[in-house]
Each structure stands twice: as C-alpha cells, then as structure tokens.
Homo-oligomer: A and B are copies of this chain.
C-alpha cells in the first residue's frame, strides 16, 4: 500500500527509476534536502533530471519546497493529508546555523495572522534559526 511506487502513482506521477530513487532518498532523510544534496548522493546523476523530479514532486503534492533563508531551496516530503498548496496549513521550519540542517516542525502550526484592512494573506512562511537539539548536546 505505502510502498514507493504507490506514493508516486497515487499522486499521478509515473514511477520511473530516477523518481523512485529520489523518493527513497527523501524518505530516508529526516531533514530537508537541497537539489545538490540529492545530486551528490548519487554517483551518476544528472542535475536537471533531479531538478525536474523535485519540481514534479512539488507540483503533484508529494513534497513541499522550503525557503529557509540560506538561499538554497530545500525540499521535504509532505505528511499524509498535508495541504501545502492550500493556505494556512503550513508548519514552521527550523534551520540550525551550526549543522546547517533544516527540519520541518510539523507539529507547530502557523497561527492565523491578522493583517491590516485590504491585505489578503495567501501564504505564510515562518523560519526559525538557531541551534538544534543535536548540536546543543555537543
């Protein structure tokens, strides 16, 4: 049911070899992943293919894009029943300035924000920078 292929097909993405490998990689990684991360992980890989793979994953709701303020776009798999595209269902992202990892804090839901009259909020991005628990121990 929840095997790799099904994740793809359930989201209308054809399960090609590369897509399965990238998905596998994203599943194993607990933190957010950059295009270069994926590229480096595979010995023989083409940057463009991975780029388009990640892009497809985002478009089809398999993963979401994260702007953690480092200037490097990160990607992370969506949870089940995630509504990344739909407003106000987004979570906080934490970026550790020590180990440089970015993680999804999915249990921290972004609170509703009231703006001045006339402003319409469509999307909210909340990033906290600091030291993660792992780095904190050392």
User: Measuring CB to CB, which residues of chain A are less than 8 angstroms from any residue of chain B?
Assistant: 67, 69, 71, 92, 94, 97, 105, 108, 111, 113, 115-134, 136-137
Of the listed residues A113, A120, A134, the one surrounded by the most CB atoms of chain B closer than 10 A to its CB is A120
Contact in complex: B137, A115 (CB < 8 Å): no
Contact in complex: B69, A94 (CB < 8 Å): no
Could you say which residues of chain B place their CB within 8 Å of the CB of A120?
130-131, 136
Within 8 Å by CB of A136, from B119, B129, B134, lies: B119
CB distance from A85 to the nearest CB of B (A): 13
Copies per assembly:
2
CB distance from A98 to the nearest CB of B (A): 10
Q: A69-B67, A136-B118 are in contact. Are A123 and B113 (CB under 8 A)?
A: no
Q: A71-B71, A125-B69 are in contact. Are A118 and B132 (CB under 8 A)?
A: yes
Q: How far is the CA of A123 from the CA of B97 in the complex (A)?
A: 10
CB distance from A73 to the nearest CB of B (A): 8
CB distance from A128 to the nearest CB of B (A): 5
Q: A113-B92, A124-B127 are in contact. Are A133 and B108 (CB under 8 A)?
A: no
Could you say which residues of chain B place their CB within 8 Å of the CB of A125?
69, 125-129
Contact in complex: A126, B126 (CB < 8 Å): yes
